[in-house]
Chains A and B, each alone.
Chain A
């Protein structure tokens, strides 16, 4: 089945550590996205990538980094600079992007990150 796989489902981080969240898609989608979901705040965009080897900052990129070396993979690193990393992280992909796209985003099951 085609879809988006996020791993791990739960992740614990010690203070001062960097952690990397995995996102893989086999939908052959060009665009991929990372969101952070906090109670009462909806989904906020961290980073997005419209094409391999290119990505842009979203609304809350500080303390995060990404890479897009392969079309199917868009890992997110939560660095020690992110002061409040405890949240639910969602990865999404879309067939294409841009003003003429009429494709919805597809979402993974998410990773819940907690600080020890």
Chain B
């Protein structure tokens, strides 16, 4: 069965620190992968998506993710976080007609 794992449940960083959130998936076929973000009190928003082509995907607000097929990973990165990046981040796998979400990573950034 397809699944998505996010091993970092809670990450605490200072502003300007670099960020990498892990996402691993289990699925043997062609994958479409997403990162969504949920800011406090707001709805889920799409950060970035990978369907095919360049494995390094750039999203909004300076985020990027790298699809590494051999490692079944799609880690999210940002070189320098800001206080406004405090949110919950979800990795998701597109299983043809539905999304499978990871359990989420709560990021807290302190000034």
Chain A residues within CB distance 8 Å of chain B: 31, 33, 35, 40-45, 48, 50, 58, 90, 92, 97-99, 101-102, 104-110
Contact = CB atoms under 8 A, between A and B. Distances in A.
Contacts of B98: 33, 45, 48, 58, 97
Contacts of B9: 40
Contacts of B25: none
A76 to B, nearest CB: 15
A105 B99 CA distance: 8
Chain B interface size, as a band, is: 20 to 34
A90 B93 CA distance: 17
A69 to B, nearest CB: 20
Interface of B: 6, 9, 32, 34, 36, 42-46, 49, 51, 90, 94, 96-104
19 contacts: A33-B98, A33-B99, A40-B104, A42-B101, A42-B104, A43-B101, A44-B101, A45-B98, A45-B99, A58-B98, A97-B96, A97-B97, A97-B98, A98-B97, A102-B51, A105-B99, A106-B46, A109-B42, A109-B43
A42 B102 contact: yes
Contacts of B100: 45
Nearest to A96: B97
Contacts of B46: 104, 106
Contacts of B102: 42
B101 A98 contact: no
Contact of B97 (A35, A50, A106): A50
Contact of B103 (A40, A45, A90, A102): A40
B49 A42 contact: no
A108 B45 CA distance: 10
Nearest to A91: B43
Contact of A99 (B6, B42, B90, B96): B96
A42 B36 CA distance: 11
B90 A42 contact: yes
